[in-house]
Structure 1
């Protein structure tokens, strides 16, 4: 992938702002549907609509085919993502929008830990300290011992863990298939994985519910597109801090639309997690620049 141009930081920030708004739209539409549909059914319909948007990328990928190894990786990732999506839909229908958003920020921390356990990546002291700060942020959000931990809280923590491992498989697949194929195949495998769970608890959806889930799929597709454009336009050190605004918008949405009071502990905990992620991202960028910067006396061409 071509390194993003440092001359387009504003474009990167704007694309990431758009991505954050789109993902808050995903949260809001699912929160609006609430518990009217079982979590597995709602998730299945969302991914089924998503497949419609991704069909132009999916059909050529299936026609070209994949090696047995890639098929296995797609299948395992689809299974992990299926579990993650069901858990997320369950939590989103029962917890305040800002709380689900804040706990979801743990995904990159899970990716960091998983990379060390699965890929053998070294955990430098800075990463360990950042992980500790992020865990502290999660404890501030959940406040165990000070309030009851609901099943929905555990569900969202489980979703964050499963999403993290799914992203690690995506990292492995990124070197074996195109980005569009990876995204399209994820939607296909997750839709297939969700189908039997949805069938077990199927409730006939209304036209209004179908329209909201189609909107959810559109928001999700648009969010991933905007996020990809942000990564192309600017380095992570520029775009990563912008993701904190997603928590602010989620809190505003929850308060204005669903009457959810702004929880200062959720905002503080989410801020700690984002600070930890931003620090890790910044330090990795600094070290990468130091590794490729030639010595002062090196020959210049």
Structure 2
């Protein structure tokens, strides 16, 4: 590697935490907006169709990035673990469908309050999936976080609504996706994984979603366009965030997503924040922050 290339690489890896935090908070704002638009559209049109159109733009975005990368699309797409990359992409596409469906059934607030347990699920599954060591302190945090989930779901309070499990299934799918991404990163670059995430998801959703196509009114096409743009903008902000700052430093600010989702849920969709959701979400966030702190301390 030349001196110039080394200096450029060092510049890209500078740890500008304040800028990284701003980018992460910006990403959470955009993703919360995306969730709100998804809930609106999926409440009127088929969920498969909504997510399919969103993925078309996502796929176009990853192809655009690949074309600008050294070696172009061919170099970016090259991998010797294609099956794993396709599995990752399909799993994330399925997770988004489940999450958006959950928004229409439970609303933004309760869905996001349960979904934020996914870092704890990643920690719990990192042992059996990746062979990583999980100490007793992290296991206690995982157990505490799951107690928070139970407080939100209230399985023993009156008639339990099975639909309340939907965001937990979404969180579990996203956790497995995250672990598979870590596994793929041992041999593939971030650009390659990102490329196949968009392409595989777009292909499988097109194969399914075209069977559920519904005509949309002009006003909702505007919302769909905003949904697609927000998806691209959110991913761009997240990519830039991890370029300028260490993940462990900015990851705690990802919990702002729940705050913005709560604002949208209350003021736009008329949702009500129940006491058990506040208590459960606070427990989950505390456990998640502790787990992130332990990972950073070990690192």
Q: Please indicate, yes or no, whether the TM-score normalized by the shorter chain is above 0.5.
A: yes
Q: Does 1:109 align with 2:117?
A: no
User: How far 1:149 sits from its partner (Å)?
Assistant: 4.0
Change (3 A) 1:49 1:76: same
In structure 2, the residue corresponding to 1:168 is in which secondary structure?
helix
Counterpart for residue 10 of structure 1:
18
Q: 1:284: how far off? A: 2.0
How many Å apart are 1:209 and its aligned residue?
Answer: 2.8
Could you say what secondary structure the match of 1:261 adopts?
coil
Q: Distance in 1 between matches of 2:162 and 2:45?
A: 18
Per the alignment, residue 207 of structure 1 pairs with: 218
CA contact (8 A) 1:97 1:254 kept: yes
Question: Is structure 2 residue 74 aligned with structure 1 residue 66?
Answer: no
Shift of 1:72: 1.0
Deviation at 1:275, TM superposition (A): 1.2
C-alpha distance in structure 1 between counterparts of 2:72 and 2:173, whole Å: 25
What is the CA-CA distance between 1:231 and the residue it aligns to? 3.0
Aligned to 1:158: 169
Greater Cα offset, 254-263 or 226-235: 226-235
Q: Which ranges of structure 2 fall in alignment gaps of 5 or more residues? A: 1-8
Deviation at 1:236, TM superposition (A): 4.2
1:5 deviation in Å? 4.5
Q: Do the aligned residues in 2 keep the contact of 1:111 with 1:167 (CA within 8 Å)?
A: yes
Corresponding residue number in structure 2 for 1:293? none
In the alignment, structure 1 residue 39 sits paired with structure 2 residue 47: yes
Q: Deviations over 1:264-299 (max 9, x none)?
A: 3222212211111111111222232xxxxxxxxxxx
Q: CA deviation at 1:143?
A: 1.2
* SS of residue in 1 equivalent to 2:105: coil
> What SS is found at the alignment partner of 2:81?
helix
SS in 1 for 2:54: helix
Residues 51, 148 of structure 1: CA spacing in aligned structure 2 closer, same or farther, 3 A cutoff? farther
What is the RMSD computed on CA atoms of the aligned residues?
2.3
Distance 2:154 2:47 in 1: 26
Contact 1:236–1:281, Cα closer than 8 Å, also in 2:
no
Closer/same/farther in 2, CA of residues 178 and 91 from structure 1, 3 Å limit: same
TM-score under structure 2 length normalisation: 0.86
Aligned residues: 286
Report the CA distance shift for 1:99/1:217 in structure 2 as closer, same or farther (over 3 A).
same
Task: State how far apart, in whole Å, the 2-side matches of 1:62 and 1:101 are.
Answer: 35
Farther-moved stretch of structure 1 (136-145 vs 208-217): 208-217
1:263 equivalent to 2:271? Answer no
- 1:75 and 1:136 mapped to 2: Cα distance? 34
SS at match of 1:93: helix
Q: Which secondary structure state, in structure 1, belongs to the residue aligned with residue 106 of structure 2?
A: coil
Q: Scaled by the length of structure 1, what TM-score is found? A: 0.86
